[in-house]
Amino acid sequence: MPVMPMLRLPPATLGRTLAVQQQVQSRLRGGGEHSAEVLLEVDSKRLQMALLTMGQIIVRLNWDGQRLIEERSAWAPAALSVDRILSDLQFALWPLTAVQAALSLPWAAEGTSTERLLRYGIRPVMYLRTLSAEIIEIDNVLQGYTLTIRTLSELAPT
């Protein structure tokens, strides 16, 4: 089984500033569902994200394009991968051309303004669908989970 690539795109390649509050719901194929709130802020120099459950920050990450700094609460699940969170965020939000440029063969990404596909050779491994202006769904077939990302509000950048 191939190992999923981890995107590490510089914040500036997003091409805009972003400050949002989101609700993320994850579903595992074998069962299990989790919901969390995400506060996400991106400018040309950094990406900052806080993941909250029950009003408590469980993970905070800061990515400046060179270093990924992670702060975890003592009760954050060990299986929670900050690397995977950053990569999924970038796959969903960054321009497709930036994602494509970061991949090396046999990995490839293709898509439209409302759908994306990550392939390993000819094998589809991850789908992204934009269901509305506020809702994105990511189906990671390879790793067996689905994320529904709902933007709740735009925030004032700090």
pLDDT above 80 (res 157): no
Quick one: 67 exposed, middle or buried, by C-beta within 10 A (0-12, 13-18, 19+)? exposed
Residue 6 falls within a domain, yes or no? no
Question: How many folded domains does the chain comprise?
Answer: 1
Residue 8 falls within a domain, yes or no? no
Residue 72 falls within a domain, yes or no? yes
Residue 31 falls within a domain, yes or no? yes
Which residue segment(s) compose the domain that 136 sits in? 14-153
Residue 118 falls within a domain, yes or no? yes
pLDDT above 80 (res 95): yes
The reported pTM is 0.90
Compute the distance between CA of residue 74 and CA of residue 87 in angstroms, rounded to an integer: 23
Q: pLDDT averaged over the chain?
A: 92
In the numeric block, the tokens 């970038």 are attached to 90
Residue 4 falls within a domain, yes or no? no
Residue 87 falls within a domain, yes or no? yes
Residues 65-77: tens digit of each pLDDT: 999 999 999 888 8
Confidence of residue 43 (pLDDT cuts 50, 70, 90): very high
Residue 7 falls within a domain, yes or no? no
Which residues are CB-contacts of 140 (< 8 A; sequence separation ≥ 6)? 4, 88, 125, 126, 146, 147
